[in-house]
């Protein structure tokens, strides 16, 4: 099925700032997913750009290869999709290096959203080293809250989540609705495997985080990322805790 055959409810011409009619959008999730499922990520991104225009935004952590593929596909097609990242104040230097490399390579300037408390303020008013005490609360304050600000006024939130990344992501639909953030979520790479992602990176010489070459396939904050067990690429996240997700995608 081509994008031309996709059902087109009256949702893709929302004016900037117009409130999203969540009921209307959610009513069409199933037919849209049926139509989107066979499409490749480049075509899904084109559909998102046509449907949501400048109200589509890609979140990229610069800590995994999937987001880099999406940036490459957006740039290659000159799509009007903004890119943003969340800066918790605890990112690896290599992650910042990659963000600068992306700016040079693609001529874009991903907007950075910071936690509303500096690390010193967090320690003084809530908890010192909160990631050791309550990592869920830490992620809520340093990742989820700025992500909520990043998505204000947007209609869809694009991410590099894939089904093969972890059991908790195995059922990721291409298009879904996030009650938590009150927005459409789009996962153009949901069907792709890690091998397909790396094939694209090599074929198109896409920049990626150099720490991946040092045995760290999934990078978050410095204090919550370790070398994984070799089987599950996300097993190096939050070592010592049962936590497997920061809360953005669950």
Residues of the shown chain interacting with ligand SF4 in the complex, contacts defined by CB under 6 A: 88, 90, 131, 135, 138-139, 142-143, 220-221, 223-224, 246
Beta carbons of 25 and 184 less than 8 angstroms apart = yes
Q: How far is the CB of 90 from ligand SF4 (least distance, A)?
A: 5
Taking the least distance from each CB to ligand SF4, the nearer of 43 and 145 is 145
Instruction: Give me the residue label for tokens 């150099």.
Output: 210
Q: Strand, helix or coil at 32? A: helix
Residue 221 annotated as catalytic: no
DSSP letters for 101-137: HHHHHH---PEEEE-SS-HHHHHHHT-SSHHHH-HHH
Taking the least distance from each CB to ligand SF4, the nearer of 80 and 114 is 114
Half-sphere exposure of 94 (CA within 13 A, CB side): 17
Q: How far is the CB of 46 from ligand SF4 (least distance, A)?
A: 33
Q: How far is the CB of 205 from ligand SF4 (least distance, A)?
A: 30
**Separation between Cα atoms, residue 74 and residue 96, nearest integer Å:** 20
| Angle, CA of 87, 70 and 145, to the nearest 5° | 30
Taking the least distance from each CB to ligand SF4, the nearer of 41 and 236 is 236
Q: How far is the CB of 144 from ligand SF4 (least distance, A)?
A: 9
How far is the CA of 174 from the CAs of 6, 25, 39, 142, 213, in angstroms? 14, 14, 10, 26, 29
**Separation between Cα atoms, residue 164 and residue 170, nearest integer Å:** 6
Catalytic residue, chosen from 60, 138, 224, 246, is: 246
Taking the least distance from each CB to ligand SF4, the nearer of 200 and 237 is 237
DSSP 192: -
Catalytic positions, please? 246
């Amino acid at each position: 099925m081509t994008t031309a055959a996709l059902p087109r409810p009256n949702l893709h011409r929302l004016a900037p700032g117009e409130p999203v009619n969540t009921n209307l959008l959610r009513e069409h999730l199933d037919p849209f997913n049926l139509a989107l499922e066979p499409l490749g990520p480049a075509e899904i991104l084109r559909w998102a750009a046509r449907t949501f225009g400048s109200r589509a935004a890609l979140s990229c952590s610069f800590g995994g290869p999937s987001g880099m593929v999406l940036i490459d596909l957006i740039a290659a097609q000159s799509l009007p999709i903004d890119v943003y990242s969340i800066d918790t104040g605890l990112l690896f230097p290599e992650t910042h290096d990659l963000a600068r490399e992306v700016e040079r390579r693609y001529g874009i300037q991903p907007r950075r959203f910071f936690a509303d408390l500096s690390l010193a303020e967090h320690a003084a008013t809530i908890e010192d080293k909160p990631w050791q005490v309550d990592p869920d609360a830490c992620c809520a304050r340093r990742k989820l809250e700025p992500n909520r600000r990043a998505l204000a006024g947007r209609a869809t939130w694009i991410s590099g989540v894939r089904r093969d990344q972890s059991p908790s992501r195995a059922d990721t639909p291409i298009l879904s609705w996030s009650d938590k953030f009150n927005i459409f979520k789009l996962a153009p790479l949901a069907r792709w495997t890690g091998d397909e992602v790396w094939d694209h990176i090599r074929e198109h010489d896409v920049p990626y985080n150099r720490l991946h070459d040092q045995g760290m396939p999934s990078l978050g904050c410095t204090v919550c990322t370790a070398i994984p067990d070799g089987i599950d690429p996300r097993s190096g996240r939050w070592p010592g805790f049962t936590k497997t997700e920061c809360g953005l995608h669950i």
